[in-house]
């Protein structure tokens, strides 16, 4: 037995007692981490092999469950359902269905409450929410073939860090010379689950407005007749709208910029929709804040340099701020989501989820200095990087919080 087990057992007990009384988010996160470490520490080699080799079939079984609407059947029923009842509703072969149901029960996606009688679990209830189960469809149907090719691709390229966005596992698997994002945009069958997945990607995470002092940093000294906020590559304008609603006293205009196919016909109260390609000169000069959310992780350093340079040229060096709402990946004990998403960015786009050092290097080369990296009180939410034009912005102490 791993020598860490007694210590981890004590830690789980302590955190469990604390969570039972407090129910706070941070304790829940710490408890989950401690339980996961305990589970790993209790594994024998055979357990490790089973976990590593069989984990993909958990996703397979859940995908079949989604296709057959098994989760909808159980969640929407007032009582548990028998195998025969589920077979009648789905039209699936009862013998086949029994095998699928047993697999789903084994991973906690459903619960066997009797002999071939099943009820829903938390996973079942998650898999009936479109913006959540669309993540399974997006990852399984479209991303997993690319992920499967990544080991071979890296071997073939002599384990060089990928930087060419037009020569990736994605390009080779889908046999296209196109960049990943335009390819997705032209395929409705892919685009729909992708957009739904993105709409639910932040489920349970802190918003940057929760831990960044908006009124102090943006409101104080702001021009009443200027542009307050430009969401660059802002999609459907949700961030600009949320900021305006949460801080109605902020003066000035709020602008959402994205490609024409995204913003054409977009109407949000108090938000201006503007067609713009962020690789081209920024038309809005001297705004209070230029904001990027989950944009720069789609591109390698060279392209990011171009994007950031165009923003710097548009900024008023004594007034404007650059705000980047993105993960800052720790170099120790980073989460599975961060590190696996980094591998996904590598495989699909030859891009990267950056560490703190990489963010400093990228921004410095583009002519910025980081004022502060504002960090949420959890390990899954994105940070907010506050930066100004190098050597000319407000003099504040660099650091993290």
Q: What is the pLDDT of residues 124-181, one digit of tens each?
A: 999 999 999 999 999 999 999 999 999 999 999 999 999 999 999 999 999 999 999 8
Average the pLDDT over 231-258 and give the result.
95
Helices (DSSP H) in 186-330: which residue ranges?
188-200, 214, 238-246, 260-263, 301-314
321-326 and 383-389 strand pairing: antiparallel
Q: Tokens representing 287?
A: 């705004």
136 phi/psi in degrees, rounded to 5: -65, -45
More confident residue, 3 or 51: 51
d(CA 85, CA 83): 5
Structural contact between residues 83 and 97, judged by C-beta atoms closer than 8 angstroms = yes
393 phi/psi in degrees, rounded to 5: -85, -175
Q: Tokens representing 308?
A: 């950031």
321-326 and 289-293 strand pairing: parallel
d(CA 172, CA 169): 5
DSSP H or E stretch at residue 340? helix 336-349
pLDDT of residue 158: 98
Describe the chain by its helix, strand, coil percentages, rounded to 5: 50, 15, 35
pLDDT of residue 396: 44
Whether the per-residue pLDDT at 22 is higher than 70: the answer is yes
Count the neighbouring beta carbons within 10 Å of the beta carbon of residue 56.
12
DSSP H or E stretch at residue 33? helix 25-41
Q: What is the pLDDT of residues 277-300, one digit of tens each?
A: 999 999 999 999 999 999 999 999
Q: What is the pLDDT of residues 320-368, one digit of tens each?
A: 999 999 999 999 999 999 999 999 999 999 999 999 999 999 999 999 9
DSSP structural state of residue 355 = B
Give bridge partners of residue 119 from the DSSP assignment.
111
- Sign for the CA dihedral angle at 89, 90, 91, 97 comes to negative
pLDDT of residue 321: 98
Structural contact between residues 275 and 259, judged by C-beta atoms closer than 8 angstroms = yes
pTM of the full predicted structure? Answer: 0.90
Structural contact between residues 57 and 75, judged by C-beta atoms closer than 8 angstroms = no
Helices (DSSP H) in 109-263: which residue ranges?
122-126, 130-137, 144-156, 169-174, 180-185, 188-200, 214, 238-246, 260-263
Average the pLDDT over 61-77 and give the result.
98
Q: Give catalytic status of residue 297 as yes or no.
A: yes
Give the 3-state secondary structure of residue 219: helix
**Count of CA atoms in the C-beta half-sphere (13 A) of 124:** 23
Sequence-distant contacts of 169-174: CB under 8 A, at least 24 apart: 169/347, 169/348, 170/146, 170/347, 170/348, 170/349, 173/145, 173/146, 173/149, 174/146
Whether the per-residue pLDDT at 57 is higher than 60: the answer is yes
pLDDT tier at 195, thresholds 50, 70, 90: confident
- Choice among 138, 179, 276, 297 that is catalytic: 297
Rounded to the nearest 5 degrees, what angle is found at the Cα of 300, between the Cα atoms of 242 and 398?
60
144 phi/psi in degrees, rounded to 5: -60, -35
d(CA 140, CA 66): 12
pLDDT tier at 262, thresholds 50, 70, 90: confident
Burial of 172 (0-12, 13-18, 19+ CB in 10 A): middle
């Amino acid at each position: 037995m791993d020598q860490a087990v007694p210590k981890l057992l004590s830690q789980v007990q302590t955190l469990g007692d604390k969570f039972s009384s407090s129910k706070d988010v941070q304790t829940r996160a710490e408890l989950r981490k401690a339980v996961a470490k305990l589970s790993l520490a209790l594994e024998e080699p055979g357990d490790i092999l089973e976990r590593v080799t069989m984990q993909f079939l958990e996703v397979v079984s859940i995908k079949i469950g989604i296709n057959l609407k098994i989760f909808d059947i159980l969640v929407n029923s007032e009582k548990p359902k028998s195998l025969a009842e589920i077979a009648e509703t789905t039209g699936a072969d009862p013998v086949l269905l029994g095998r699928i149901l047993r697999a789903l029960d084994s991973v906690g996606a459903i619960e066997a409450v009797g002999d071939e009688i099943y009820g829903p679990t938390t996973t079942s209830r998650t898999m009936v929410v479109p913006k959540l189960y669309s993540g399974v469809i997006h990852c399984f149907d479209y991303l997993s073939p690319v992920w499967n090719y990544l080991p071979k691709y890296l071997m073939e390229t002599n384990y060089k860090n990928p930087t060419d966005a037009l020569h990736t596992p994605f390009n080779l698997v889908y046999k296209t010379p196109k960049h990943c994002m335009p390819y997705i945009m032209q395929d409705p069958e892919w685009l729909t689950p992708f957009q739904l997945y993105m709409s639910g990607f932040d489920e349970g995470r802190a918003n940057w407005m929760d831990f960044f002092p908006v009124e102090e940093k943006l409101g104080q000294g702001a021009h009443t007749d200027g542009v307050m906020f430009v969401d660059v590559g802002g999609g459907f304008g949700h961030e600009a709208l949320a900021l305006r609603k949460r801080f109605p006293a902020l003066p000035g205009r709020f602008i959402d910029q994205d490609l024409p196919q995204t913003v054409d016909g977009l109407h949000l109260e108090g938000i201006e929709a503007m067609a713009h390609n962020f690789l081209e000169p920024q038309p809005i000069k001297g705004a209070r804040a230029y904001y990027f959310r989950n944009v720069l992780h789609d591109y390698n350093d060279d392209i990011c340099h171009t994007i950031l340079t165009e923003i710097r040229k548009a900024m008023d060096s004594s007034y404007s701020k650059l705000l980047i709402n993105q993960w800052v990946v720790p170099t120790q004990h980073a989460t599975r989501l961060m590190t696996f998403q980094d591998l996904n960015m590598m495989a699909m786009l030859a891009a990267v989820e950056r560490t703190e050092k990489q963010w400093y290097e990228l921004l410095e080369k583009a002519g910025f200095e980081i004022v502060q990296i504002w960090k949420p009180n959890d390990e899954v939410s994105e940070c907010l990087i506050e930066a100004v034009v190098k050597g000319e912005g407000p003099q504040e102490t660099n650091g993290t919080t």
